[in-house]
Amino acid sequence: MARIICVANQKGGVGKTTTSVNLAAALSEMSRQVLIVDMDPQGNASSGLGVKRYENQDNNIYQVLIGEKSIHETIQSTQIKNLDIVPANPDLVGAEIELVDMPQREYRLKSALREVSGKYHYILIDCPPSLGLLTVNSLSAAETFLVPLQCEYYALEGLSQLLNTAGLIKKSLNTDLRIEGIVLTMFDARNNLSHQVVAEIQSHFAEKVFSAIIPRNVRLSEAPSHGQTIFQYDPKSIGAKKYKELAEELDGRVYGHKESESTPAQVVASDSGQESEIYV
């Protein structure tokens, strides 16, 4: 069965889609069968893999969530071997409203992915920059969640709210949910602040922080405009090298050894002042 990983962070511009697309591409180059589910109405993961918005008007994740299509009907192949995608387009904005009155609204994605989980090694869910019903569906469907975190001053802003939400979902909707790890992104080696943020995150989350740190790299920014991953656009770039390292590290965690049981290792204060036990 596939390892279902939700790539989430309520802050925008932290590298969620860049990480989803390039991590998936790196895993597929390792002969892993990978499916990306684009849960962001902006559809950037879709366009980043060369899927045009006008090409998926009737076959996208919106139709799956509202029950008009099966997920089998919406899966599209990409230009990359071993990598498929369920695309998104702006129609997905309406799903937040339409799902409210639907039965089992938090489990619509989970039910759909159950049909195809046996076909893949990994299913990566690219979440929108919010903690709405689309993200709740994603966290309810996932076994683990991966958090891209930029190496900047406001890196921890909003992280406590995401972990608090994940803790609530673990208690009420998905008792198996746990954190896969934190990926540090947008690292600038010339900036002392970046080094300070890395040290702080590593001291708080220890082994849950991936060793592969993604640097600021102009090639990573340019690749999506060509509808390509970094491995198609510039496979020799530092961005490609680091995402390959991240994929190898993740695959080693998932398939390389038996995982230990999750323990309540971090207590994070929510914005309301309450404390939530986060299982990592």
pLDDT tens-digit readout, 208-231: 999 999 999 999 999 999 999 999
Q: Which of 116, 93, 40, 103 lies closest to 67 in space, CA to CA?
A: 103
* Residues in Cβ contact with 40 at an 8 Å cutoff, skipping those fewer than 6 apart: 16, 17, 88, 92, 126, 127, 128, 129, 134
pLDDT value at residue 18: 96
Torsion of CA 29, 223, 221, 229, to 10 degrees: -20
pTM of the model: 0.89
Lowest-confidence pick of 15-24, 127-136, 141-150, 254-263: 254-263
**Mean pLDDT of all residues in the chain?**
88
pLDDT tens-digit readout, 124-169: 999 998 888 999 999 999 999 999 999 887 777 767 888 888 999 9
Q: Which of 228, 214, 60, 74 lies closest to 134 in space, CA to CA?
A: 60
Q: CA of 137: how far to CAs of 72, 174, 191, 232, in Å?
A: 18, 10, 37, 31
Q: Sorting pLDDT into bands at 50, 70 and 90, what band is 277?
A: very low
Q: Sorting pLDDT into bands at 50, 70 and 90, what band is 96?
A: confident
Q: Which of 133, 134, 165, 132 lies closest to 147 in space, CA to CA?
A: 165
Percent of the chain predicted with pLDDT > 90? 66
Q: Sorting pLDDT into bands at 50, 70 and 90, what band is 56?
A: low
pLDDT value at residue 11: 85
The ranges assigned to domains in the chain are: 3-279
| pLDDT at residue 193 is higher than 50 | yes
| pLDDT at residue 265 is higher than 50 | no
Please tell us whether the domain made up of 3-279 is placed in CATH 3.40.50.300: yes
Rg value, the chain, Cα: 18
Q: Sorting pLDDT into bands at 50, 70 and 90, what band is 100?
A: confident
User: Do the Cβ atoms of 14 and 148 come closer than 8 Å?
Assistant: yes
Q: Sorting pLDDT into bands at 50, 70 and 90, what band is 58?
A: confident
CA 220 to chain centre: 17
- Alpha-carbon span 280 to 267, nearest angstrom: 10
